[in-house]
Amino acid sequence: MRLDKFLKVSRIIKRRTVAKEVCDSGKVLVNGRVAKPGTDLKVGDIIEIQYASGSVKAEVLSIQEHATKEAAKEMYRIISGKEIE
Going from N- to C-terminal start, the domains of the chain cover 3-80
Domain 3-80, CATH: 3.10.290.10
Distance between CA atoms of residues 83 and 40, nearest Å: 23
- 77: helix, strand or coil: strand
**What is the average pLDDT across 1-19?**
93
Tens-digit pLDDT profile for residues 42-80: 999 999 999 888 889 999 999 999 999 999 999 999 998
Q: What is the pLDDT of residue 21?
A: 93
Determine if the pTM surpasses 0.85. yes
Kindly state the percentage of the chain with pLDDT values over 70. 96
Q: What is the pLDDT of residue 54?
A: 85
Nearest Cα neighbor of 4 from 50, 34, 41 is 41
Q: Cβ of 35: how many Cβ atoms within 10 Å?
A: 22
Distance between CA atoms of residues 42 and 62, nearest Å: 8
